[in-house]
Structure 1
Amino acid sequence: MFDDYLTWKPFFDIAPMLLDDCRAVSDLHGQRFARQWGDGEIASLLMQPGVFGFCAFQTNAFFSRPLGGFALSREAAGEAEILTIGVAEKVGRSGLGWRLMQAALREATVRGVETMFLEVEENNVAAVGLYRRLGFEQVARRPAYYAAADGTRSAALVMRRDLR
């Protein structure tokens, strides 16, 4: 029994993002990005036509449903973009980012989207690798696009995947 406790792993369900999730999404966003998006910003986006998102909630927690990750996207005129995606550090490299991206790609396909875009910091090796494994290809590079807390700047890679 004790050995089972030592090998316990969290399990997550992927669910559509709701307005009630915006505070938790904002908190996690602030842990993962230099500039936190407030819950009002996220709610405002989520209420716009064409915007959709997903949350990964832990299902085997004892007293709550902790947020393990999120993805927020927007579609218009046959194209979609990942606005932001984040996975909690403690569950990084667990496949949660893959699952959130798959949910966003499926929803975009259902909505008739032909092409999905995203921007990623060029130095974020794990994310760039994930997006490449998902079939995204670099189509542009924006120098000095992202600003870190210490004032340094890094490039953004613009990536694209055809869905049809």
Structure 2
Amino acid sequence: MTPEALAYIHALAFSSTRAWSAAEFRDLLDQRGMILTGDDRAFALLRVTLDEAEVLTIATAPEHRRKGLARAVLAQAETAVQALGAAVIFLEVAEDNDAARALYAQAGYAQIGRRPGYYLPKDAAPVAALVLRKALVAQ
């Protein structure tokens, strides 16, 4: 997928916040340890550093939601980062994003922290980020 395609899907998926630009995606993709899974309907972008992985973003185009695509790209990404040696994976999710929180709960992620006022919606009050963690290998 091109940075432009990623930016387009991200803008559709995150219309109430600041979407990432094609230049930002290009810069991220040029970094070491980046994993991209998905297609023009949904994608996941992760970064691996040593034995840890971080979900940077998962985006699903609105017309393709509720089809299991986010679950599929997350599972593909988890497999890919584990193959690169990641033993644990972290992410942040907006406290008010019920759909994403349900996805992560079903995938085995547990809350380990909370960051008040982390997300800044365009026309609403700041929203806390929940920090989630999942072990990819038995510890």
TM-score by length of 2: 0.94
Q: Residue 55 of structure 1: CA displacement?
A: 2.3
Determine the structure 1 residue equivalent to 2:105: 132
Q: Residue 92 of structure 1: CA displacement?
A: 0.6
In the alignment, structure 1 residue 101 sits paired with structure 2 residue 77: no
Counterpart residue identity of residue 22, structure 2: D
Match of 2:96 among 114, 119, 123: 123
How many residue pairs are counted as aligned between the two chains?
135
Match of 2:31 among 41, 45, 48: 48
Determine the structure 2 residue equivalent to 1:7: none
Secondary structure in 2 matching 1:112: coil
Counterpart residue identity of residue 114, structure 2: R
Task: Report the identity percentage.
Answer: 37
Partners of 1:79 and 1:109 lie apart in 2 by 9
Aligned 8 A contact 2:38 2:73 in 1: yes
Unaligned runs of 5+ in 1: 1-17, 57-66
TM-score by length of 1: 0.80
Determine the structure 2 residue equivalent to 1:80: 53
Question: Higher RCO, 1 or 2 (CA under 8 Å, sep at least 6)?
Answer: 2
Match of 2:9 among 16, 28, 34: 28
RMSD: 0.9
Determine the structure 2 residue equivalent to 1:161: 134
Unaligned runs of 5+ in 2: none
Partners of 1:129 and 1:96 lie apart in 2 by 14
